[in-house]
């Protein structure tokens, strides 16, 4: 299939790589061109605008940073919608708002173009290993068309309902991750202060009732003092805000998510925005909480 891919960051690099390895013809675009070098060396074609990518491909996947980036890529003068044609199908995998997902789908309908919201979960490791979970909103028939391509980097693809349902499912995921990340930070702090061997703690806890992906992915990185992203602090602040905004609309109180948003905002404001989410331990280890 002729596939376009826009957004070649931590996640997109690996996902696009799997699509290429599976033998699809790949057209790529990214804000910073140099991030496409590896893929172009492996056979992908660089194009200068999202519009050109849309013109060249039947299916275009986007995974950029924020809702404002999505708006630029889709609605810009040289954006995807400007290059849409009768066979186009656009899938946005960025973690974004359900309302923007619905807006994109409405514009797609106007142009007779399929649009899906399909954010992913599984982290940088899941993307590298091609075992992401994909949370889909939109028409099932469109998902069916894209499934073989999505399967190149996913272990689980689940359709949740109409446009926006994928983004709601991702908000649900991030609420759970808020809990596991704060739990990870507090348990590592406790274990360290009690002078327990952290490597044994991570291994043992990871095989018991408290096992979870945050611990598996980020426990070892904390032990190695490795705060490279992974998953950016700034993106987690965005995601928690989306979850809180949506919960407000449903008149829900989510005190744990509010606390996570407050602590991650504090971490970002302390200069750790571009680090990985495991840097949350710094609020304790750098003395913010422990004096
Ligand atoms: P990232 O490394 O910042 O990648 C985003 C990429 O999109 C960057 O390469 C950026 O370009 C590009 N981009 C932004 N605006 C653009 C535009 N207008 N036109 C073209 N390219 C544009 O972030 P990431 O970690 O891959 O995450 C991407 C999305 O997936 C985020 O919404 C994040 O919340 C979500 N997510 C991340 C993870 C994870 O573990 N990392 C897991 C699940 C979901 P530049 O190269 O110029 O910055």
Which of 170, 234, 238, 282 is labelled catalytic? 170
* 103 & 180 share domain: no
Asked whether the predicted pLDDT for residue 26 surpasses 50, the reply is: yes
CA angle 74, 79, 85 (to 5 degrees): 90
* 10 & 139 share domain: yes
Q: What CATH number does the domain containing 248 carry?
A: 1.10.1040.10
Residues having CB closer than 6 A to ligand 1 are: 6-12, 30-32, 35, 63-65, 69, 72-73, 94-95, 120-121, 123-124, 230-232, 235, 239
Q: Of the residues 114, 132, 162, which one is the last residue of a structural domain? A: 162
* 191 & 259 share domain: yes
Q: Of the residues 162, 181, 210, which one is the last residue of a structural domain? A: 162
* 127 & 15 share domain: yes
Whole-number pLDDT of residue 286:
85
Whole-number pLDDT of residue 288:
66
Per-residue pLDDT averaged across 274-284, rounded? 97
pLDDT in tens, 196-215: 999 999 999 999 999 999 99
Half-sphere exposure of 164 (CA within 13 A, CB side): 10
How far does residue 224's CA lie from ligand 1's centre (Å)?
25
Ligand 1 binding pocket mutation candidate from 6, 36, 64 (most atoms within 8 A of CB): 64
Q: How many domains does the chain have?
A: 2
* 67 & 176 share domain: no
pLDDT in tens, 228-264: 999 999 999 999 999 999 999 999 999 999 999 999 9
* 250 & 224 share domain: yes
* 112 & 202 share domain: no
Ligand 1 binding pocket mutation candidate from 235, 243, 268 (most atoms within 8 A of CB): 235
pLDDT in tens, 89-125: 999 999 999 999 999 999 999 999 999 999 999 999 9
Ligand 1 binding pocket mutation candidate from 17, 47, 65 (most atoms within 8 A of CB): 65
Asked whether the predicted pLDDT for residue 57 surpasses 50, the reply is: yes
Range of the domain at 255: 168-285
Q: Is residue 291 assigned to a domain?
A: no
Counting atoms of ligand 1 from 1, which one is nearest the CA of 76? 18
* 104 & 38 share domain: yes
Q: What CATH number does the domain containing 49 carry?
A: 3.40.50.720
* 129 & 189 share domain: no
Query: What is the pTM assigned to this prediction?
Result: 0.96
Asked whether the predicted pLDDT for residue 44 surpasses 90, the reply is: yes
Q: Is residue 103 assigned to a domain?
A: yes
Note if 107 is an active site residue.
Answer: no
- 218-222's contacts with Cβ under 8 Å and 24+ in sequence apart are 218/181, 218/184, 218/276, 218/277, 218/278, 219/184, 219/188, 221/276, 221/278, 222/184, 222/188, 222/198, 222/278, 222/281
Whole-number pLDDT of residue 291:
44
Q: Of the residues 162, 179, 205, which one is the last residue of a structural domain? A: 162
Place of tokens 């280890």: 285
How far does residue 13's CA lie from ligand 1's centre (Å)?
10
What is the chain's mean pLDDT, rounded? Answer: 97
Q: What percent of the chain has pLDDT over 90?
A: 98
* 22 & 126 share domain: yes
* 203 & 274 share domain: yes
């Amino acid at each position: 299939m002729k596939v376009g891919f826009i957004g070649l960051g931590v996640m997109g690099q690996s996902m696009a790589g799997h699509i290429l390895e599976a033998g699809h013809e790949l057209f790529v675009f990214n804000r910073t061109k140099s991030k496409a070098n590896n893929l172009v060396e492996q056979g992908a074609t660089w194009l200068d605008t999202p519009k050109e990518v849309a013109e060249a491909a039947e299916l275009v996947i986007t995974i950029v940073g924020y809702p404002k980036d999505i708006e630029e890529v889709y609605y810009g003068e040289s954006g995807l919608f400007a290059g849409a044609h009768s066979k186009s199908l656009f899938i946005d995998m960025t973690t974004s708002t359900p309302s923007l997902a619905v807006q994109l789908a409405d514009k797609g309908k106007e142009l007779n173009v399929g649009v899906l919201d399909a954010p992913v979960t599984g982290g940088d490791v899941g993307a590298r290993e091609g075992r992401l979970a994909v949370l889909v909103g939109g028409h099932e028939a469109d998902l069916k068309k894209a499934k073989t391509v999505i399967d190149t980097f996913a272990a689980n693809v689940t359709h949740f309902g109409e446009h926006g349902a994928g983004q709601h499912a991702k908000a649900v995921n991030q609420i759970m991750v808020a809990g596991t990340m704060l739990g990870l930070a507090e348990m590592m702090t406790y274990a360290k202060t009690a002078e327990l061997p952290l490597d044994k703690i991570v291994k043992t806890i990871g095989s018991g009732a408290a096992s979870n992906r945050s611990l598996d992915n980020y426990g070892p990185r904390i032990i190695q003092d490795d705060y490279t992203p992974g998953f950016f602090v700034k993106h987690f602040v965005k995601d928690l805000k989306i979850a809180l905004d949506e919960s407000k609309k449903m008149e829900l109180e989510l005190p744990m998510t509010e606390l996570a948003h407050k602590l991650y905002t504090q971490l970002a404001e302390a200069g750790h925005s571009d680090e990985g989410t495991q840097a949350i331990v710094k609020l304790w280890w750098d003395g913010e909480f422990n004096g």
